[in-house]
Amino acid sequence: MESLIRTENVKKIYNARRPDEFRALEGVSLQVEKGEVAVLKGPSGSGKTTLLSLIGCMSRPTAGNIFVAGKNVSKLSERFLTRTRQQTFGFIFQQFNLLRDLSVMENILLPLYPQQIKISEMLERGRELLARLDMENKQQMKINQLSGGEQQRVAIARALINDPEIVIADEPTAHLDSKLSIDLLGLLEEINRMGKTIIIATHDPLVYEHPLMTRTLALRDGRLEEES
């Protein structure tokens, strides 16, 4: 049976053939099955974020192939790459990447604006998610009025609003204390129970040693070092 995600000898070179050329990934091959919680671990600069952005269709590899649900996305045009990203992935970024001037609800609904969904339905989905994340009463608040943990929850809600099959989280605990990190892992567990496949990039042992993780992939200097 085809894996949900499979990469074949993926390479990514920034500023190729220039003095500042940087080889971020040096031929990474891996696979992630549906329903798994996979963790990419490794020190800073090991290529975790680059690999996540390639898997999440945010950029294209310099060489190699990436298959998502059996479809090779590495050669897709920009438009289809965006479609795949929109329909398949939800992202939780390290810096949260929320729009500070927007309200909680507006941030959550961002992915739905360009879609053919009625505003009433958008709001209903948003309220449902906020209720699940215990943030119902904060929907009109601005992002800069929220704590780090609350901002993280908004980012999670935004990642889930499209009901994606795969959730990608880049260093999700980087800006959280231990208690909030444990809460976050609880949330990810819940998301996984909803049937979502989760891929996390982290160098936080609290995350990669958590029993929730079903697959651990260790990266170093752009190469896959070990897999367990």
Partner 1 sequence: MRHLKILEYALSALWRRKYKNLAIVLVYCFTIAVLASILFLTHALKTEATYLLADAPELIVQRLFAGRHDLIPLDYADQIGKIPGVAEVHPRFWGYYYDSLTEANFTLLETSSGHSPLTMLQGDLPSAPGECAIGAGVAKVRKIDIGDDLILIDSSNTGVSLEVTGVFSSRSDLLTNDLVILGREDLIEFFGFSTDLATDLAVRVSNPREVNTIAAKIKRQWPNTRPISRSEIIRTYAAVFNWRSGMMLSVFAAALVAFCILAWDKATGISVEEKREIGILKAVGWETSNILELKFWEGMAISLTSLLLGLLAAYVHVFFLGATLLTPVIKGWSVLFPTFHLTPFIDLYQILVIGFLTVPPYVASTLIPSWKAAITDPETAMRG
Binding site residues, partner 1, CB under 8 A: 49, 53, 58-59, 78-79, 82-83, 85-87, 91, 93, 97-99, 101-102, 106, 110-111, 113-116, 118-119, 158, 162
Nearer to partner 1, 109 or 188 (CB): 109
For residue 151, the minimal CB distance to partner 1 (Å) is: 14
Separation CA 131–CA 129 (nearest Å)? 5
Nearer to partner 1, 48 or 210 (CB): 48
Nearer to partner 1, 12 or 138 (CB): 12
For residue 113, the minimal CB distance to partner 1 (Å) is: 5
Residue 61 near residue 11, CB atoms below 8 Å: yes
For residue 29, the minimal CB distance to partner 1 (Å) is: 22
User: How many C-beta neighbours within 10 Å does residue 227 have?
Assistant: 12
User: How many C-beta neighbours within 10 Å does residue 98 have?
Assistant: 22
Nearer to partner 1, 89 or 208 (CB): 89
For residue 6, the minimal CB distance to partner 1 (Å) is: 21
Which of these, 15, 184, 172, lies nearest to 97 by C-alpha position?
172
Here the tokens at position 99 are 């729009």
Nearer to partner 1, 122 or 224 (CB): 122
For residue 101, the minimal CB distance to partner 1 (Å) is: 4
Nearer to partner 1, 88 or 173 (CB): 88
Q: Give me the residue label for tokens 């567990």.
A: 189
Which of these, 169, 117, 109, lies nearest to 139 by C-alpha position?
109
Q: Which long-range contacts (CB under 8 A, 24 or more apart) does 125-129 make?
A: 125/161, 126/157, 126/161, 129/157, 129/160, 129/161
Q: What do you get for the CA distance between the two ends of the chain, in Å?
A: 20
